[in-house]
Structure 1
Amino acid sequence: MRIPAFLLAFSVLGGCAGGMSKDECLYADWRAIGYEDGARGASASAVSSHRQACAKKAGITPDMNAYLAGRDAGLREYCQVSNAFSIGARGGRYYGVCTGPEEGAFVTAYQQGNQLFALENDLAHAEHAFAAAEKRLQEINHNIDHAEAALISPATPHLERVDILADLKNLNEEKQRVKRSFGPLRRDIDVAYEELADYRAFLAANGPYPGAHSVTSASY
């Protein structure tokens, strides 16, 4: 069973314990709060934040029986093996909250999703590094053009020309360094792309989590 999208959105945007107002503490549905914490996989320490916030703002102590009952229900939603892969694939953290016979399968599915997330990040970082090098080369060429124009301009004082020549030397040296970096940066992209493609093929053949039906790599 999937966790409803509206619940995930609430958990991300408004579910932090320290954000509870005095009125929210006074009229809190502690079972619902426990459910929300469980459904987003919050650690067991989440209730401590609720307790501290409500004690400070309203002198209220959480109804622990209601909270824990709700949290258990939420964890049953969160700890579905089919949910674990998507948590890992979006870079979510797992706080070891799932127990019982399905825990091993959940962790395996989470790790497989997290591996996909890491490989996608590797490719994105490699592409970003190459794009940054290309942008820097454009900036260097632009600066060289301006320096060369200033160097031959009759309006440029002689002493300034000495500084411009030094700048041109540094710019051309940096230009060569940047150009030499293109080869390794392209190889980084190729390696990251191949590793990601291989892993997507593995997921397509074996499913995104234990027991899942095979899916096409386009799903990833």
Structure 2
Amino acid sequence: MVKYKYTLGIFCACLLFTICLYPYLPNYLAVHWNESGEPNEFVTKQVVVFIIPFFVVLLYGLAYVVSHHIYKFNGDHHVIIMGFIRNVTVFILFIHMLILFINLENVISFQTGLTIGISVFLFMLSKGFKKRKEAEEEPMKLQKIRLFSRRIFQMMACIILFSLFLNLRWGFYFLISAISCGSILFMLCILYSYIIESYET
């Protein structure tokens, strides 16, 4: 998981880069690309530049309110939830900077950058399933499920990189298929762990 101080540093760095790049950006930025990699939807640069930082602040504010005033998570759950939010934050900031750099100088296709970003994001998520020292009393079956879940995300992170060797259309289909199959496996794993935990308690 990405630690809080690293997330804050990445957010500040992205915000600083965004402010520096703002005068050099065109008035309308591409935010969607077709199967051929050509932009077909544009939005004003004010919206693109400020919507992601605002969304990140809103996400953290909502997470703070929920975890401290609505539903108080215990220590382990709080670490997992906040770690997931930090990973999502870093991924969103990556997409934000990718869009800005593509509009500034088209050196890479959006789908290629997105594929690499998703692969790194899934690998970061897999770190959240590693065994913790304080969870030594966890049943052996749940430990195996945790390990299996970690392997699922690592496998997804590696497999979707193969879509980089395909053309944009088939690469997109391969990317969606890999994520869908991995998500189904993960949901089945969660369901099985819930049944095991309920049975043992």
Q: TM-score, normalised by structure 1?
A: 0.31
Which structure exhibits the higher relative contact order, with contacts defined as CA atoms closer than 8 Å and separated by 6 or more residues? 2
In terms of Rg, which structure is larger? 1
Q: TM-score, normalised by structure 2?
A: 0.33
